Amino acid sequence: MNRLIIGHWHTAFTVSDIEKSVKFYTELLNFEVVHRQRQSNEYTRKFVGYEDADLEAVMLKIKGDTLVGVSGHLLELNQYYSPSSEKIDIQTKNIGAAHLALVTDDIHNTYEFLKANGVTFRSSPVSIQEGRNKGGYTCYFLDPDNITLELFQPPIHK
Protein backbone atom coordinates (compact mmCIF):
# COMPACT_ATOMS: atom_id res chain seq x y z
CA MET A 1 0.00 0.00 0.00
CA ASN A 2 1.28 3.48 -0.86
CA ARG A 3 1.63 5.99 1.94
CA LEU A 4 -0.96 8.71 1.52
CA ILE A 5 0.73 11.36 3.64
CA ILE A 6 4.52 11.61 3.61
CA GLY A 7 5.20 14.73 5.70
CA HIS A 8 4.00 17.97 7.26
CA TRP A 9 4.89 21.03 5.19
CA HIS A 10 3.43 24.07 6.95
CA THR A 11 0.81 25.51 9.24
CA ALA A 12 -0.93 28.70 8.10
CA PHE A 13 -2.66 31.53 9.92
CA THR A 14 -4.64 34.35 8.34
CA VAL A 15 -3.61 37.68 9.86
CA SER A 16 -4.95 41.23 9.72
CA ASP A 17 -1.63 43.06 9.16
CA ILE A 18 1.13 41.05 7.49
CA GLU A 19 3.87 43.57 8.37
CA LYS A 20 2.95 43.64 12.06
CA SER A 21 2.77 39.84 12.21
CA VAL A 22 6.06 39.26 10.38
CA LYS A 23 7.74 41.72 12.77
CA PHE A 24 6.28 39.86 15.79
CA TYR A 25 7.38 36.41 14.61
CA THR A 26 10.84 37.50 13.41
CA GLU A 27 11.82 40.00 16.10
CA LEU A 28 10.32 38.28 19.15
CA LEU A 29 10.04 34.57 18.31
CA ASN A 30 13.27 33.84 16.40
CA PHE A 31 11.66 33.11 13.01
CA GLU A 32 13.11 34.20 9.68
CA VAL A 33 11.43 34.83 6.35
CA VAL A 34 11.99 32.02 3.84
CA HIS A 35 9.77 33.30 1.05
CA ARG A 36 7.26 36.08 0.46
CA GLN A 37 4.89 36.58 -2.44
CA ARG A 38 1.68 38.27 -3.50
CA GLN A 39 -0.78 35.65 -4.76
CA SER A 40 -3.38 37.02 -7.14
CA ASN A 41 -3.52 34.37 -9.81
CA GLU A 42 -5.79 31.69 -11.22
CA TYR A 43 -4.32 28.68 -9.40
CA THR A 44 -4.53 30.47 -6.03
CA ARG A 45 -8.14 31.49 -6.65
CA LYS A 46 -8.95 27.91 -7.59
CA PHE A 47 -7.40 26.16 -4.59
CA VAL A 48 -8.54 28.67 -1.92
CA GLY A 49 -12.03 28.70 -3.39
CA TYR A 50 -12.47 32.48 -3.78
CA GLU A 51 -12.94 33.81 -7.32
CA ASP A 52 -11.44 37.17 -6.38
CA ALA A 53 -8.64 35.93 -4.10
CA ASP A 54 -5.76 38.35 -3.67
CA LEU A 55 -3.44 37.70 -0.75
CA GLU A 56 0.08 38.04 0.49
CA ALA A 57 1.79 34.94 1.82
CA VAL A 58 4.94 34.88 3.94
CA MET A 59 6.67 31.59 4.79
CA LEU A 60 8.75 31.57 7.98
CA LYS A 61 11.01 29.08 9.68
CA ILE A 62 12.73 29.08 13.03
CA LYS A 63 16.30 30.35 12.68
CA GLY A 64 18.74 27.46 12.60
CA ASP A 65 16.19 24.88 11.47
CA THR A 66 17.18 22.98 8.36
CA LEU A 67 14.55 22.19 5.78
CA VAL A 68 14.74 18.68 4.38
CA GLY A 69 12.31 17.76 1.62
CA VAL A 70 8.64 18.10 2.46
CA SER A 71 9.13 17.35 6.15
CA GLY A 72 10.65 20.72 7.09
CA HIS A 73 7.94 22.54 9.01
CA LEU A 74 7.14 26.14 8.07
CA LEU A 75 4.74 28.75 9.39
CA GLU A 76 2.78 30.57 6.69
CA LEU A 77 1.15 33.92 7.40
CA ASN A 78 -1.51 35.13 4.96
CA GLN A 79 -3.20 38.49 4.64
CA TYR A 80 -6.21 38.55 2.34
CA TYR A 81 -6.78 41.79 0.42
CA SER A 82 -9.72 40.24 -1.40
CA PRO A 83 -12.19 38.95 -0.47
CA SER A 84 -12.44 41.06 2.66
CA SER A 85 -11.69 39.29 5.93
CA GLU A 86 -13.62 39.25 9.16
CA LYS A 87 -12.53 38.46 12.69
CA ILE A 88 -13.76 35.11 14.04
CA ASP A 89 -13.81 33.76 17.59
CA ILE A 90 -10.61 31.71 17.78
CA GLN A 91 -10.56 31.01 21.51
CA THR A 92 -8.95 27.64 22.15
CA LYS A 93 -12.21 26.18 23.48
CA ASN A 94 -13.99 26.69 20.16
CA ILE A 95 -14.25 23.99 17.53
CA GLY A 96 -11.81 24.59 14.71
CA ALA A 97 -9.49 26.75 16.80
CA ALA A 98 -5.82 25.85 16.61
CA HIS A 99 -2.57 26.75 18.28
CA LEU A 100 1.09 26.43 17.42
CA ALA A 101 3.41 25.04 20.11
CA LEU A 102 6.94 26.44 20.15
CA VAL A 103 9.78 24.77 22.03
CA THR A 104 12.16 26.65 24.31
CA ASP A 105 14.96 25.46 26.55
CA ASP A 106 14.30 28.19 29.16
CA ILE A 107 10.59 28.98 29.42
CA HIS A 108 10.98 31.38 32.34
CA ASN A 109 13.55 33.55 30.53
CA THR A 110 11.51 33.45 27.30
CA TYR A 111 8.35 34.37 29.23
CA GLU A 112 10.06 37.38 30.87
CA PHE A 113 11.50 38.54 27.53
CA LEU A 114 8.15 38.34 25.76
CA LYS A 115 6.27 39.97 28.68
CA ALA A 116 8.77 42.84 28.66
CA ASN A 117 8.01 43.28 24.95
CA GLY A 118 4.26 43.62 25.52
CA VAL A 119 3.16 40.07 24.67
CA THR A 120 -0.10 38.97 26.34
CA PHE A 121 -0.05 35.66 28.22
CA ARG A 122 -2.94 33.57 29.51
CA SER A 123 -0.76 32.51 32.45
CA SER A 124 2.80 32.43 33.62
CA PRO A 125 4.68 29.17 32.93
CA VAL A 126 2.92 26.18 34.49
CA SER A 127 4.73 23.07 35.70
CA ILE A 128 3.38 19.94 33.99
CA GLN A 129 2.46 17.58 36.83
CA GLU A 130 1.54 14.37 35.01
CA GLY A 131 1.66 12.50 31.72
CA ARG A 132 4.51 12.05 29.29
CA ASN A 133 5.65 15.67 29.67
CA LYS A 134 5.71 15.61 33.49
CA GLY A 135 8.51 17.86 34.69
CA GLY A 136 8.24 20.20 31.72
CA TYR A 137 6.61 23.62 31.57
CA THR A 138 4.01 25.23 29.34
CA CYS A 139 1.97 28.40 28.89
CA TYR A 140 -0.24 30.03 26.26
CA PHE A 141 0.31 33.48 24.80
CA LEU A 142 -1.22 35.53 21.98
CA ASP A 143 0.12 36.94 18.74
CA PRO A 144 -1.02 40.36 17.40
CA ASP A 145 -4.28 38.83 16.06
CA ASN A 146 -4.95 36.95 19.32
CA ILE A 147 -3.93 33.66 17.73
CA THR A 148 -3.00 31.28 20.53
CA LEU A 149 0.61 30.17 20.68
CA GLU A 150 2.14 27.83 23.23
CA LEU A 151 5.56 27.90 24.84
CA PHE A 152 6.75 24.44 25.79
CA GLN A 153 9.86 23.44 27.69
CA PRO A 154 10.32 19.66 27.55
CA PRO A 155 11.16 17.79 30.74
CA ILE A 156 14.72 16.72 31.35
CA HIS A 157 14.75 12.92 31.22
CA LYS A 158 17.60 11.32 33.10
Instruction: Give the SS3 label for residue 71.
Output: helix
pLDDT above 80: residue 97:
yes
**How many Cα atoms are found within 13 Å in the side-chain-facing hemisphere of 90?**
17
pLDDT above 50: residue 70:
no
What strands lie across the sheet with 148-153, from one edge to the other? 100-103, 148-153, 137-142, 126-127
| Mean pLDDT within 114-139 | 97
pLDDT above 60: residue 89:
yes
| Mean pLDDT within 45-62 | 95
Cα 28 to Cα 20: distance, rounded to the nearest angstrom: 12
Q: What percent of the chain shows pLDDT beyond 70?
A: 94
Instruction: Give the SS3 label for residue 108.
Output: helix
pLDDT of residue 118: 98
- Write out the CATH class of domain 100-153: alpha beta
pLDDT above 60: residue 71:
no
| Residues forming CATH 3.10.180.10 domain(s) in the chain | 10-82, 100-153
pLDDT above 80: residue 158:
no
CATH 3.30.200.20 applies to domain 10-82: no
DSSP 13-54: EE-S-HHHHHHHHHHTS-EEEEEEEEE-SHHHHHHHT-TT-E
pLDDT above 90: residue 67:
no
For the beta carbon of residue 111, count every other beta carbon within 10 angstroms.
21
To 5 degrees, how large is the angle CA 51–CA 53–CA 55? 175
Specify the length of the chain in residues: 158
Higher-scoring residue by pLDDT: 8, 95: 95
